[in-house]
Amino acid sequence: MPNARAVRCTADREGLRRLAADQLGLPTAPFWFVGSLGELQAVAVHAGFPLLVSPVAGVAGQGSSVVAGPNEVEPAWQRAAGHQVQPQTGGVSPRVCAESVVEIEFLVTMIVVCSQGPNGPLIEFCAPIGHRDADAGELESWQPQKLSTAALDAAKSIAARIVKALGGRGVFGVELMINGDEVYFADVTVCPAGSAWVTVRSQRLSVFELQARAILGLAVDTLMISPGAARVINPDHTAGRAAVGAAPPADALTGALGVPESDVVIFGRGLGVALATAPEVAIARERAREVASRLNVPDSRE
């Protein structure tokens, strides 16, 4: 399972970025860490705009802002500082990460499975997962995401290097930014990433089964059996709900599950996933969208 160092490092944006860029030499977007509004303003003058500003420690996506001009620097600082997770000892000034927004085509999650084989540690990869973000979470994900041969090789190399440096067994989700053959490291989690829900339908073993097997020392299999897609849904917004946080009614589920090769997973208050498979990714994405639509789930990007 992930060791204490890996858990601590992935929860600290500054420590993780310095490990990736400074120690391992992985390609990243240009970044700076600052401890005051004045320092952030100085970085903005130096780096230019747009600039992504995020708290160093906190829930992914919360407190982040894309700064388009000088007048937005102070509100971005206040937002990031307000979402900073402080140690219980208190008295620590907030620190903020500022990153240049690099030109990319799409985001990819590489699921890396670290296990123990008969001849020593093993690292295996699932097929790349593409996703688009909305409201601090993966609104939609699909597998496989097509990459050039050069980009796929670079993605596997970056993912393997950061995971080896962190150590431990289990599933790691390495988020990468792709622009043609160029690949940039963005983040890593020491548990299945949110975008990995698609593997419940697309792989022989989902990331959750892979996590359990890797930790228990059992054989793992990262084979993808079908192109698939997933869309995060919110049960609070489903049609005809009886109460806030209630699961969608039977008629809504009947309609949603009428979509070919589809499934719906409802976890409880405020969270669920629409899943679908198809011969091609584009069709799977459309089917997952239709499943969510039949549950009357609004798309926050539409």
133 and 173 housed in the same domain: yes
95 and 216 housed in the same domain: no
pLDDT at 57 (0 to 100): 79
Which residue among 71, 100, 129 closes a domain? 100
Number of domains in the chain: 2
Residue range 164-198, pLDDT digits in tens: 999 989 999 999 999 999 999 999 998 887 899 99
The identity of residue 83, as a single letter, is: H
Judged on CB neighbours under 10 Å (0-12, 13-18, 19+), 191 is: middle
pTM of this structure: 0.87
11: in domain: no
Residue 76 has pLDDT above 70, yes or no: yes
3: in domain: no
pLDDT band at 232 (very low <50, low <70, confident <90, very high): confident
pLDDT at 235 (0 to 100): 52
Domain containing residue 63:
30-100
37 and 136 housed in the same domain: no
Tokens standing for residue 273 = 């996933």
Residue 231 has pLDDT above 50, yes or no: yes
124 and 229 housed in the same domain: yes
- Taking all residues of the chain, what is their mean pLDDT, rounded to a whole number? 87
205: in domain: yes
Tokens standing for residue 264 = 């719906």
pLDDT band at 300 (very low <50, low <70, confident <90, very high): very low
pLDDT at 61 (0 to 100): 65
Residue 270 has pLDDT above 80, yes or no: no
Residue range 112-168, pLDDT digits in tens: 999 988 888 899 999 999 998 654 444 799 999 999 999 999 999 999 999 999 998
pLDDT at 60 (0 to 100): 66
Residue 3 has pLDDT above 50, yes or no: yes
Q: Would you give the end-to-end CA distance of the chain in angstroms? A: 39
94 and 153 housed in the same domain: no
